[in-house]
């Protein structure tokens, strides 16, 4: 499937733009998943478009644009871009392989039981996961129970050669790990460890829905939107702390665990306490690369030391993408 860059826009049709995902080394070498819509609720069925945007030191460039709201984006260490969701009305996993300054797109041949693709994560191009389903499941439900049959949770794994179906441990919301031995999946009352060929469900430290997970060394942490922070290893998990409400991101960067809270800013997690390192409102997606990057009310921001900051202003994106910047 080839995704075409955006064409000329109707100047009379006002739109809003919101950054949903940010991935890359820095704001000079990154990709964004952007939703553009005629209203700020960004509803899937109300004219929302997906833009895949390249940041490479110049003005933002749209490298793919499609009708529909794609759900997730990740960039592998090789620079391959994986986009999960509906593009051009086709649900699936869309893969952009770098070819010079462009991306060559194709649609992954997922297993037959793969339905709506909600998420994707890649340790590298030989360890890639895609997942979806399970929207009716509750914490504690078996993934093969009655509610699971209404919207079966599924997971697919790519080993660099072929995609294959693996039994889903439940309704997955996020996957991450620092190495192939420490990959974890989290979700609604769910923690599972990847054993190389299958998921092994672990005892979760609570029934909360973990929306974010990040691995550093042998340690993995997960966080819920409501402010619950978990910590675990392949040997077990525990509830670590209760933080601020509206957590929207989690990362380990330069030796520190960082939590992004929409109405508070960036906080360093130390034991069971939190120290605010950046005061900000409207913080959105968080990404740890060579720099620490996040979205805010007036654009994208990055830092290397929490002392100096570089910002790509909202007006830069408004001119390039044809819409008013929006941050919750």
The pLDDT value given to residue 206 = 87
Nearest of 29, 187, 199, 197 to residue 101 by alpha carbon: 29
| Gap between the Cα atoms of 223 and 249, Å rounded | 8
| Gap between the Cα atoms of 154 and 110, Å rounded | 11
The pLDDT value given to residue 141 = 55
The pLDDT value given to residue 11 = 47
Kindly state the DSSP code that residue 234 receives in the 8-state scheme.
Answer: T
**What's the predicted TM-score (pTM) here?**
0.91
Nearest of 96, 6, 4 to residue 323 by alpha carbon: 6
| Chain Cα centroid distance, residue 155 | 16
Residue 260 and residue 250 in contact, taking contact as beta carbons nearer than 8 Å: yes
| Gap between the Cα atoms of 314 and 324, Å rounded | 8
The pLDDT value given to residue 149 = 60
- For residue 150, what are its two tokens? 């209404």
| Gap between the Cα atoms of 211 and 224, Å rounded | 5
Nearest of 325, 301, 309 to residue 55 by alpha carbon: 301
Burial class (CB in 10 A: 0-12, 13-18, 19+), 297: middle
CA geometry: angle 45, 51, 53, nearest 5 deg? 160
**Residue numbers of the chain with a pLDDT score lower than 50:** 1-2, 4-8, 11-12
HSE, side-chain direction, 13 A CA sphere, residue 223: 25
| Chain Cα centroid distance, residue 234 | 23
State the SS3 of 251-293: EEECCEEEEEECCCEEEEEECCEEEEEEECCCCCCEEECCCEE
Which residue's structure tokens are 């939703």? 35
Task: Give per-residue pLDDT as tens, 236-285.
Answer: 999 999 988 789 999 999 999 999 998 899 999 998 899 999 988 889 89
CATH fold, domain 16-325, is Methylamine Dehydrogenase; Chain H (2.130.10)
Residue 85 and residue 74 in contact, taking contact as beta carbons nearer than 8 Å: no
- Ramachandran angles phi, psi of 246, nearest 5°: 65, 50
The pLDDT value given to residue 267 = 94
Domains in the chain: boundaries: 16-325
The pLDDT value given to residue 121 = 98
CA geometry: angle 162, 104, 47, nearest 5 deg? 100
The pLDDT value given to residue 157 = 98
Looking at the DSSP bridge assignments, the partners of residue 188 are 209
């Amino acid at each position: 499937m080839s995704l075409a860059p955006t064409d000329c826009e109707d100047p009379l049709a006002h739109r809003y733009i919101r950054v949903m995902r940010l991935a890359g080394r820095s704001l000079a070498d990154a990709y964004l998943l952007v939703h553009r819509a005629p209203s700020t609720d960004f509803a899937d069925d109300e004219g929302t478009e997906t833009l895949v945007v390249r940041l490479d030191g110049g003005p933002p460039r749209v490298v793919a644009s499609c009708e529909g709201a794609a759900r997730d984006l990740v960039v592998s260490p090789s620079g391959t871009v994986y986009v999960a969701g509906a593009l051009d009305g086709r649900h699936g996993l869309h893969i952009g392989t770098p070819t010079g300054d462009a991306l060559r797109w194709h649609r992954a041949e997922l297993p037959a039981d793969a339905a709506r693709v909600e998420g994707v994560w890649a340790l590298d191009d030989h360890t890639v996961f895609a997942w979806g389903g399970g929207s009716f499941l509750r914490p504690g439900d078996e993934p093969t129970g009655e509610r699971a049959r209404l919207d079966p949770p599924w997971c697919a794994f790519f080993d660099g050669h072929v995609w294959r179906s693996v039994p889903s441990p439940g309704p997955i919301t996020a996957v991450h790990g620092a190495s192939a031995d420490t990959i974890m999946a989290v979700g609604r009352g769910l923690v599972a460890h990847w054993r190389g060929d299958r998921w092994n469900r672990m005892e979760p430290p609570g029934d909360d829905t973990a929306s974010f997970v990040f691995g550093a060394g042998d340690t993995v942490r997960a966080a819920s939107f409501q402010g619950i922070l978990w910590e675990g290893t392949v040997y077990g998990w525990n509830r670590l702390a209760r933080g601020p409400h509206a957590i929207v991101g989690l990362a380990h960067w330069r030796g520190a665990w960082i939590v992004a809270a929409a109405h508070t800013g960036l906080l360093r997690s130390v034991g069971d306490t939190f120290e605010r390192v950046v005061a900000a409102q409207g913080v959105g997606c968080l990404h740890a690369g060579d720099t620490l990057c996040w979205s805010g009310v007036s654009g994208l921001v990055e830092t290397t030391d929490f002392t100096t900051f570089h910002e790509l202003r909202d007006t830069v994106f408004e001119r390039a993408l044809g819409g008013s910047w929006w941050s919750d």
